[in-house]
Structure 1
Amino acid sequence: MRVTEQRSPQNTTLSPDKVRDWHSLEAQEALELLQVDQKKGLTNEEAGRRQEAYGRNVMTPKKQQSALVLFLLQFHQPLIYILLVAALVSVLLGEYIDASVIFGVVLINSIIGYIQESKALAAIDALSKSMSAKATVLREGRKQQIDASELVPGDIVLLQSGDKFPADVRLVQARDLKVDESALTGESVAVEKHPDPVAADEMLGDRFSMGFASTVVTYGQATGLVVATGDKTEVGKIQESISGAQDLDTPLTIKIKEFSRLLLWVILALSAAVFLVEYLRGADPADTFMLAVALAVGAIPEGLPVAVTIMLALGVSKMAKRRAIIRRLVAVETLGSTNVICSDKTGTLTENQMTVQQILAGGETYTVTGLGYRPEGKIQQQETQTDLSSNQALAQCLKAGALCNDSALKEKDGQWLIEGDPTEGALEVAARKAGLERRNLEEAQPRQDTIPFESEYQYMATLHAGERPVIYLKGSVEAVLDRSNKALLPNGELGELDKAHIEKQVEQMAGAGLRVLAFAMLDSAEGQTQIDHEHTKSDLVFLGLQGMIDPPRKEAMEAVALCQRAGIDVKMITGDHAVTAAAIASQIGLQGRQENGQLVAVTGKQLQQIGDQELPDLVEKTAVFARVAPEQKLRLVKALQSRDRVVAMTGDGVNDGPALKQANIGIAMGITGTDVAKDASDMVLTDDNFSSIEGAVEEGRGVFDNLTKFIVWTLPTNLGEALVVLLAVALSSQLPIKPVQLLWINMTTSVLLGLTLVFEPKEPGIMDRPPRASNQPLLTPKLIMRTLLVGVLMLIAAYGLFLYELNQSATLVEAQTVVTTVFVVVESYYLLNCRSLVRPVGQIGWFSNMWVYYGIGIMFLAQALFIYTPFMNMLFGSSPLDAMQVLRIFGAGAVVFTIVSVEKQIRFRLGNKRRAAAQRKKQLREGEAQ
């Protein structure tokens, strides 16, 4: 219900923000509510009082964390706590080298994490910048130019073409006013505005009596009454939504946190058990604690955070080559798990270039080929190009569109651009496709006078001299038909005008989402140089119709099909009209709820009537949402997320900011996107093309695959290391490996070996499989079994050679060096098995990723330094080995490689048999159904 009660403007409790529907009030009623004289405006004294009451017309900046707090938060991880405690106690026990290495690892991880997260969102700053710097107001009965931040509710502002609305304004007067609201509402073309009230329940894009902060006047003039400033404006409400949107964890970070918590308790329990057992045996407490530290250090995958960060960073580089710029590293992995893409229509799924596609002239219908502003294509009937000389009505219809036109078609750097109204540009392009050059037409028929478009009359007319002086007119179908009484026939003669037939054709074209303009002409008197509305009020000759649309991108259609085949739902959420949105969605091939064979578009008004309980079901089934408000976009994203959907959301306007930030991955447009959209996003498309999203999803899946391969490769090492320590405790033997040696293994192999997996080519059929379920564990039962297998094999190889070396009279230091080298060599062999989690290495090509061999070579060189250089012997407690010791180590690695290869081969063959059997059953069911 509208609140209209107001107090005296002298009272600072005046609350215009209580009025929720200024657009539905008469202009005079709005002026009376704010107690202001339209001709005089506020007094400076009253403006000062109101500013005290409401504050300045600026956005409230968002408080952000300091750099120090952001850095300290990097240490706020369970596994890091264990390492820090281990380092601290090592210092107390005098193990300074061990403590230094442990703390060094923690510090490196924290620095990398800080660099990754230090790019704080600047969405609020961008919103503040979107407010106009200056405003022309009426105060004390005279025009004044003031800083926009000084505006208050009740101010009278004056606007003209090119001005930006400095606040939310109720229009009082308007002349031929058109406003670009695309940044706020998503409307693809400029909106005609007027001061007449509209219904209270109209959506934001249909409040024609209002002008909103940050939108731009493209044509005409207006006088408006400021009704909301700063945070109370529509753009201010968006700021609040952005601030309130959650920063969601990604599927990978969620799984790693769950894994870390589980590992934390397992490590603490085992370490405590080891300490207790050894203490009860009467062992020295210091030695006992170092044993527990060794177990903890061995079990913790220290290299995992660093490796994941570097892998994601390399994924960023790959995606940049596919025109997707990643702003947050975790977005790389999130893309691989995305199962819903909510896309804007204009410019993302479509060309963002109005294109004439259908013409009705002389009773004949023609199709126009070619997309966008490039003047390449044909005007044809049944795939046969039309000769203009055979249809004078078609020729005159195209001429009218080219000459009654104020736009300009230009080529710049190989790109065709329109200066002026896109609709008029489309008409010139259509004429060019028929061979009618506008320059030649204007030379033959120079313009003498113009009646500009006015919303009251709904048409534009131009007078042209020449061999046959003529008036051309274009406008709405209703305006042109009302003024016409004859129709031009193909042979150039005049015939009867069948208005009912034309209206039926218009209905069909509009049903296909086309925007329809009508054209007419009138012979003018010889020597006439001026025209007005009296000359065009009747007796016009109807020429035809031209229907245009912003057509879908061809590559976007292919990308949508590929996404849907990959199990990713694609939904269109647009500020455009429902009919247009549904027509484009059908052409693109979106899959969703249908009625009578047509896609159903749910509008913003309909969404208002649907409760939060019913909304998730509706959103799941529906593919097209039209005329939606900013808060509704946010509501749609949340509804999908309530069903555990991983949502990617595209957007380019201020209105998209909250939804972009709320989505699991926000995708902004690089060309048409506002600063707000870019700063609230995780990824920016440099070409504004949906196909780049599909490419980024494909790369994201590849990155997730390679991250999984890395985890499957690294965990057996930690398991094997922990088992070696536990076995030593169980047998009361000497420690086979030192904590500092465990750190050497975990850090060097992660970087030199594990990171080479990032260069693995994408698996075949990567976009033919469904997305990973959000509740699917990081490791499947099969991968867990393989991890256990390899961990046990590492235990057998390492502890077996440890005992063998001691029995051969080797020193403890030599035996520990052998154990350290066993882990390095076995990891290198196992790396070859992890290049694919399913296929044997021979099937993916031994040499398809040479980086693996480079990494192994560098790792072996580093291990040789570990073994044979005095400095490394002193730092890590290692010792030189002889040739036979090295040979035995490599033999153990070869055995592990063979066993794992056989296991993978058996599983691969069994998997193929199951898939073949499932395919046969499916074919049988389909045959029975037929």
Structure 2
Amino acid sequence: MLLDNNLVRHLDACETMGSATTICSDKTGTLTTNRMTVVESYVGNTEFSSAADLRAALSPVAMAALCDGICLNSTAEILPPLKAGGKPEHTGNKTECALLQLATDMGVVYADVRKAGDVGHMLTFSSTKKRMTVVVRTSATTCRVFTKGASEIVLDLCQSQLQLDGSVSPLNEAQKNHIHSNAIETYANQAYRTLCLAYRDIDASMEVIKTWADEDLERDLTCVAIVGIEDPVRDEVPGAIRQCNKAGIVVRMVTGDNMATAKSIALKCGILSPNDGSLVMEGAEFRRRVLDSNGNIIQSEFDKIWPMLRVLARSSPKDKYTLVSGLIASNLYPHGPQVVAVTGDGTNDAPALKKADVGFAMGICGTAVAKDASDIILMDDNFKSIVNAVKWGRNVYDSIAKFLQFQLTVNLVAITVAIVGAIVLEESPLSAIQLLWVNLIMDTFASLALATDSPTDALLERKPYPRTKALISRKMFKHIVGQGIFQLIVILLLTFVPSLINVKAGYKDERDGNNPTEHYTMIFNTFVFLQLFNEINARRIHDELNVFDGFFQNQLYIGIQIFQITLQAVMVQFGGLALKCAPLSGSQWAICIGIGALSLPVGLSLRCVHADHFPQFFTSCNEVETVHEPSARGKELWMRTFARLRTQIRVIKAFRSSGAQRRLLTEKGHRNTI
């Protein structure tokens, strides 16, 4: 998964992602490139599409008001390109970087402005207030306040407007509505992030201003500019969201942008479709409808909203936490609660990341707190990597199911053959050493072979597994029983009717009672090849007809199969008395392999049988065991685990100790026994 840019911190998150039904994603950096550029600006009721045109139109006074506000009311940096001909490196907040680039393109050196400016007080950006403010000392008794933030919020705090010539004119409600419709809404409908830049001059010293409340500072502002910032959607995101929709996963976007911008981005990504009835809601309205006066979720009201909710605009981290909590708590659908994955990059996102079934933190722009709260870290901050995690999660689940289907078939046949042989023949057709080899195939090699298929896009063509899904599905049960019955019939026929394969019956050679016979060797050899061919069947657990699909892409699987066949041939031909095997002729090998290969057409036939005729077991882990005394049961499990761990430590120490130390432990154990 690391190669797919998923750094897994908690292993159980891999399997959980296979059952994900909802992904609550941020917009900036996850769905978009996070490479922002100011493409439109609105100053003095005039629209500009380039920095050069804007610079030419502004007077020195207006130029200073705009660029000082950009340079001083920010903490980001623009560094020279790492390579010749490359793009400048942006560090810090990407929105601020876009504004600094605008100032740079207008011929302003932001470092010089910051050096000359005397910033004495700062109100950092708040996801609740959606704005940031600094206070700059202009003289001993005067200061200038620079504010930037969400365009409609900051514009509401303005009572005047800066003109191109540097003059200031009053700003009434009608003029605000004009700016809103001609700039803010126009830019937002083009999927631009909109910001309002404003300032205010105050006749008071810095010491006095520091005692003021935030609300007293951020009022009676002068609107300088409305800027439209473009953050393009990642090229791969629309395709990834189409895959999610096809896979039965609902993608919901949670963003701080205004509703128009959020809706436009969602349409470009494919989260929304025109006229599909999906719900787009602002955070304030969402809180009003789903929270009571104490801030608790009203689940009945939440359940009326979330099925159609796709975009939550102007939202805060608290809104994201509320959304995740409500989704997990909802029992609206009979197949169980939602399995929720959520992305986050800020410190305030930590509660939502912890609450979600799987939390994704951003590896590039995420804070340390967000990463610590997450289950998986996205190394490239890309939504496509979340889809890769879904594929890996489903692949893990399918790999476990493949192994179970194969292993249970082997167990069923081996145990039945051993029991029947012991009762009827007073000896098992399969010797102890042969069963050990079968166990090696069944456990070690099968787990390696069946768990090494890489995830494919085909995994996203079906709905997620519900949490209450049966461990053994009807289709798996069908193949376990069907293959088990077929293999039992074959092995028992070979055991009791040896004439079918033209060999003499018997466990031992009549000429030498110590030598194994060709009869029982062929039984063992046929049994092994039945498993090896059934291992190919087990590669597909959803009744796909072509079990060889992707077979030759998995080089490790092919290598393991070749190794098992080679080792089986060596055991049979050269194992002799030690392995209870007699060498077989070429025709006998052909018979064993041919009978084993019949597992493939049998598997094909079983795929044509409808699985509804078979029962379903292990529907819920909760049905397996009911704990009536949790404290006593917990203590028992703790003591058992502790004892097992202590035993394992002793074993490891024993293996690492010298021969003399091991003899000393043996003698001590003997004395304790006496």
Q: TM-score scaled by structure 2?
A: 0.65
1:882 to 565, 576, 584: 584
Partner of 1:856: 561
Partner of 1:341: 23
Q: CA deviation at 1:694?
A: 1.2
Q: 1:638 to 1:840 in 2, by over 3 A?
A: closer
Q: 1:331 to 1:343 in 2, by over 3 A?
A: same
Partner of 1:436: 106
Partner of 1:896: 599
Secondary structure, in 3 states, of the residue corresponding to 2:361?
strand
**Does residue 1:326 correspond to 2:13, yes or no?**
no
Contact 1:388 1:394 in 2 (8 A): no
Contact 1:833 1:841 in 2 (8 A): no
Residue type at the aligned position of 1:808: K
Contact 2:20 2:464 in 1 (8 A): yes
**Does residue 1:608 correspond to 2:291, yes or no?**
yes
Secondary structure, in 3 states, of the residue corresponding to 2:42?
strand
How many angstroms apart in 2 are the aligned matches of 1:389 and 1:402? 12
Q: For each residue in 1:186-226, what CA deviation from the matched residue of structure 2 results, as whole angstroms up to 9, or x when unmatched?
A: xxxxxxxxxxxxxxxxxxxxxxxxxxxxxxxxxxxxxxxxx
**Does residue 1:650 correspond to 2:343, yes or no?**
yes
Q: 1:452 to 1:692 in 2, by over 3 A?
A: same
Q: 1:420 to 1:774 in 2, by over 3 A?
A: closer
Secondary structure, in 3 states, of the residue corresponding to 2:227?
strand
Residue type at the aligned position of 1:426: A
Q: 1:826 to 1:657 in 2, by over 3 A?
A: same
**Does residue 1:516 correspond to 2:220, yes or no?**
no
How many angstroms apart in 2 are the aligned matches of 1:650 and 1:744? 47
Number of residue pairs matched?
A: 541
How many angstroms apart in 1 are the aligned matches of 2:417 and 2:302? 55
Q: CA deviation at 1:615?
A: 3.5
How many angstroms apart in 1 are the aligned matches of 2:30 and 2:392? 19
How many angstroms apart in 2 are the aligned matches of 1:389 and 1:655? 37
Residue type at the aligned position of 1:326: V
Partner of 2:326: 636
Secondary structure, in 3 states, of the residue corresponding to 1:844?
coil
Contact 1:575 1:627 in 2 (8 A): yes
1:808 to 504, 508, 512: 504
Contact 1:665 1:683 in 2 (8 A): yes
Q: CA deviation at 1:474?
A: 5.6
Secondary structure, in 3 states, of the residue corresponding to 1:650?
strand
How many angstroms apart in 2 are the aligned matches of 1:661 and 1:344? 16
Aligned ranges 1:49-448 → 2 under 5 Å: 319-345=1-27, 347-350=29-32, 355-361=37-43, 363-366=45-48, 379=49, 388=53, 392-393=57-58, 401-404=66-69, 405-406=71-72, 407=75, 408-411=77-80, 413=82, 416-418=88-90, 424-432=96-104, 435-439=105-109
Q: 1:581 to 1:888 in 2, by over 3 A?
A: same
Q: 1:654 to 1:594 in 2, by over 3 A?
A: farther
Q: CA deviation at 1:856?
A: 1.7
Q: CA deviation at 1:320?
A: 0.8
Residue type at the aligned position of 1:487: Q
Q: CA deviation at 1:889?
A: 1.5
Aligned ranges 1:444-459 → 2 under 5 Å: none
**Does residue 1:564 correspond to 2:242, yes or no?**
no
Q: 1:810 to 1:891 in 2, by over 3 A?
A: farther
2:461 to 761, 768, 789: 768
How many angstroms apart in 2 are the aligned matches of 1:390 and 1:819? 90
Q: CA deviation at 1:600?
A: 1.5
Partner of 1:620: 307
Q: CA deviation at 1:855?
A: 1.4
Q: CA deviation at 1:866?
A: 3.7
Secondary structure, in 3 states, of the residue corresponding to 1:879?
coil
How many angstroms apart in 2 are the aligned matches of 1:763 and 1:608? 41
Secondary structure, in 3 states, of the residue corresponding to 1:328?
coil
Partner of 1:829: 533
Partner of 2:656: none
Contact 2:536 2:548 in 1 (8 A): no
2:552 to 838, 847, 859: 847
Q: 1:628 to 1:640 in 2, by over 3 A?
A: farther
How many angstroms apart in 2 are the aligned matches of 1:661 and 1:554? 30
Q: CA deviation at 1:570?
A: 1.9
Residue type at the aligned position of 1:325: L
Q: 1:633 to 1:622 in 2, by over 3 A?
A: closer
Q: 1:332 to 1:726 in 2, by over 3 A?
A: same
How many angstroms apart in 2 are the aligned matches of 1:827 and 1:395? 84
How many angstroms apart in 1 are the aligned matches of 2:418 and 2:358? 42
Q: For each residue in 1:134-157, what CA deviation from the matched residue of structure 2 results, as whole angstroms up to 9, or x when unmatched?
A: xxxxxxxxxxxxxxxxxxxxxxxx
Unmatched runs of 5 consecutive residues or more in structure 2:
125-131, 149-153, 202-208, 210-220, 509-515, 611-674
Partner of 1:85: none
How many angstroms apart in 2 are the aligned matches of 1:773 and 1:430? 50
Q: CA deviation at 1:568?
A: 0.4
How many angstroms apart in 1 are the aligned matches of 2:97 and 2:431? 75
Contact 1:447 1:462 in 2 (8 A): no
CA RMSD of superposed structures (Å): 4.9
Secondary structure, in 3 states, of the residue corresponding to 2:459?
coil
Q: TM-score scaled by structure 1?
A: 0.49
Q: For each residue in 1:878-914, what CA deviation from the matched residue of structure 2 results, as whole angstroms up to 9, or x when unmatched?
A: 233322543331121133334434655x679xxxxxx
How many angstroms apart in 2 are the aligned matches of 1:498 and 1:455? 25
Contact 2:146 2:199 in 1 (8 A): yes
How many angstroms apart in 2 are the aligned matches of 1:873 and 1:573? 70
Contact 1:671 1:687 in 2 (8 A): yes
Partner of 1:714: 407
Q: 1:598 to 1:607 in 2, by over 3 A?
A: closer
How many angstroms apart in 1 are the aligned matches of 2:247 and 2:59? 45
Secondary structure, in 3 states, of the residue corresponding to 1:338?
coil
Q: 1:333 to 1:547 in 2, by over 3 A?
A: same
Contact 2:160 2:170 in 1 (8 A): no
How many angstroms apart in 2 are the aligned matches of 1:458 and 1:845? 58
How many angstroms apart in 2 are the aligned matches of 1:653 and 1:833? 47
Secondary structure, in 3 states, of the residue corresponding to 1:360?
strand
Unmatched runs of 5 consecutive residues or more in structure 1:
1-318, 367-378, 381-385, 464-470, 523-532, 534-539, 909-930
Contact 1:448 1:462 in 2 (8 A): no
Q: For each residue in 1:467-515, what CA deviation from the matched residue of structure 2 results, as whole angstroms up to 9, or x when unmatched?
A: xxxx99964666996455x733xxx798987755651244345564844
How many angstroms apart in 2 are the aligned matches of 1:864 and 1:595? 62
**Does residue 1:590 correspond to 2:590, yes or no?**
no
**Does residue 1:696 correspond to 2:380, yes or no?**
no
How many angstroms apart in 2 are the aligned matches of 1:584 and 1:461? 36
Residue type at the aligned position of 1:832: I
Q: For each residue in 1:743-766, what CA deviation from the matched residue of structure 2 results, as whole angstroms up to 9, or x when unmatched?
A: 431333443345223343545643
How many angstroms apart in 2 are the aligned matches of 1:705 and 1:398? 62
How many angstroms apart in 2 are the aligned matches of 1:848 and 1:437? 56
Residue type at the aligned position of 2:596: G
**Does residue 1:751 correspond to 2:444, yes or no?**
yes
**Does residue 1:867 correspond to 2:572, yes or no?**
yes
